[in-house]
Amino acid sequence: MVAVSKFIEKQLLLNGCPKDKIVVSYIGIPISSQEPIEYSDKDTTILFVGRLEPVKGCEYLIRAAADIQRNYPSIMLKVIGNGSQREMLEKLAEDLNCQCMFIGELDNISVRDEMRRALVLCSPSVPLENGECEALGMVCLESQTMGTPVVAFDVGGIPETIPPSLNSQLVKDIDYKSLGDVILSVITDSDGYSIRVKEGKKFVDEKFDIKVCNEERNTIYGSIL
């Protein structure tokens, strides 16, 4: 059985699957050859990309962004994606006076362009009571290859997308205050920002190149057939 992350491998083991029957093989992404945008030239935006469903945790980000904007009014939250919670989230943003643009769905090229220009991408996915949880976190990988740091809750397979040297960008407590604190620490870190970008991109480009991942998976399937 092929698991797309070590997190999924762990879930399979907990459900009785023999360890020797599991192989972890990551899903890769197309690696960007574009140079990252410098900190001073970035848009002052926090970016969310994903389905507007409970598991994606966008509510936490809207609350965190509203808090941040009280002291940093130039910061804008952009939300890319649609889902059953959109109307509720739009009302929440309005009630909290959060400067938030709901963009809807975009094609992959446009999404990557938004990622490249944002100051930070936030992936506030949360585990649900029914067991649903983020298996890996593809947007985290795409954002980093585009040269934009990621802040996320420390859940599911998401930690596997962040280099160990940047684990301070993983939020341990699932609450919007903690999320906002970590986002703020990244977007105000003008001196260390380029290091975050360089380490994140290097980690993703070396470990999640879709060409390498596909070759590895083909080798796995070839050994089975």
> Position 65: which residue type?
A
- Residues 167-225 pLDDT 10s: 999 999 999 999 999 999 999 999 999 999 999 999 999 999 999 999 998 898 887 76
* Paired sense of beta strands 45-49 and 23-24, if any: unpaired
Task: Report the candidate in 51, 60, 145 with the shortest Cα–Cα distance to residue 105.
Answer: 51
| pLDDT of amino acid 172 | 95
| pLDDT of amino acid 1 | 87
Q: Which CATH number applies to 30-208? A: 3.40.50.2000
| pLDDT of amino acid 91 | 98
Low-confidence ranges of the chain (pLDDT < 70): 225
| pLDDT of amino acid 223 | 77
Among left, alpha and beta (phi > 0; psi -120 to 50; other), residue 156 is left
| pLDDT of amino acid 221 | 81
Q: Where are the domains of the chain?
A: 1-28+209-225, 30-208
| pLDDT of amino acid 217 | 87
| pLDDT of amino acid 186 | 98
CB atoms within 10 A of CB 15: 7
Residue 140: both structure tokens together: 């985290």
Residue 181: both structure tokens together: 């604190």
Question: Model's pTM, two decimal places?
Answer: 0.94
Residue 193 CA to residue 119 CA, distance in Å, equals 9
